[in-house]
Amino acid sequence: MSGHSNSSVLTRRQLLGMDGSHLVQASVGPAGATALLHADAAQAFAAMREAAQQEGIGLSVASGFRSFDRQLAIWNTKARGERACHDDAGNRLDLASMEAWDAVQAILRFSALPGTSRHHWGSDMDVFDEKAVPCDYRLQLVAEEYAEQGPFHAMHNWLEQRAGEFGFFRPYREDRGGIAPEPWHLSYRPLAEQCENAMSASQWAQQTEAVDLAYKETVMAKLHDIFERFVQIP
């Protein structure tokens, strides 16, 4: 890797996914597939992808940057029951029949509060092994795909051994009671750490004042809890 890691911290709006001007379209998968990433993360990923290729692993990005508006649409459709929200056992939840704070926590287990997703930064990505599945394979991003019998277990092991060399780590590897484990989620530490440090609940509240967010009152009342349990990675 070449050593230009002096990128400045993102602007407030970039941190919240409201501005994607810090991103580049990076080649990260089969047949010219691209993803939006920060240039530093894209460069580090390219080096890691090449090293993985040499060992027969088709390390590819399924999704990189996600905008605030996209995350907001996911949040609101889940909150309104237009998109399924499940519990850990995979049972569909009826959020409308739940206390607001319970409903918010149920959404947060699998979906970030808009403005707090690590996918806003361009440092984070969901990955799979393109060589381990047919090209028409429908990626689900579920734990079984990355577990011992799953198609991406070899990649999972490879990442365990090698991702650190390239500056990557997996923030949601273990269940800490907040966000459910996501073995597919990779984060480029040099950039992500700066973003993490720059995030604040008060900034979030300020920038989202005019946003039409489902459960907004509850979110505002519990904002510090949410940041502690679902945003900050210990």
Residues 230 and 151: their CA atoms lie apart, in Å, by: 29
Residues 208 and 65: their CA atoms lie apart, in Å, by: 19
- State in angstroms the smallest separation of the CB of 176 from Zn ion: 16
Residues 75 and 84: their CA atoms lie apart, in Å, by: 11
Cβ distance to Zn ion smaller for residue 176 or 224: 176
Residue, CB closest to Zn ion: 185
- Asked whether 222 and 213 are in contact (CB, 8 A), the reply is no
- State in angstroms the smallest separation of the CB of 186 from Zn ion: 8
Residues that bind Zn ion in the complex, under the rule CB under 5 A: 126, 185
- Asked whether 98 and 121 are in contact (CB, 8 A), the reply is no
HSE of 33 in the Cβ direction (CA atoms, 13 Å)? 16
Cβ distance to Zn ion smaller for residue 132 or 141: 141
Cβ distance to Zn ion smaller for residue 109 or 185: 185
Both structure tokens of 169: 């780590």
Identity of the residue numbered 5: S
- State in angstroms the smallest separation of the CB of 184 from Zn ion: 7
Cβ distance to Zn ion smaller for residue 216 or 229: 229
Residue 62: CB atoms within 10 A of its CB come to: 16
Cβ distance to Zn ion smaller for residue 100 or 125: 125
- State in angstroms the smallest separation of the CB of 101 from Zn ion: 24
- State in angstroms the smallest separation of the CB of 154 from Zn ion: 20
- State in angstroms the smallest separation of the CB of 6 from Zn ion: 26
- Residue 74: name the closest of 122, 113, 23, 121 by CA: 113
Cβ distance to Zn ion smaller for residue 179 or 214: 179
Enumerate the H helices of 34-178 as residue ranges: 39-53, 68-79, 100-110, 143-146, 153-162
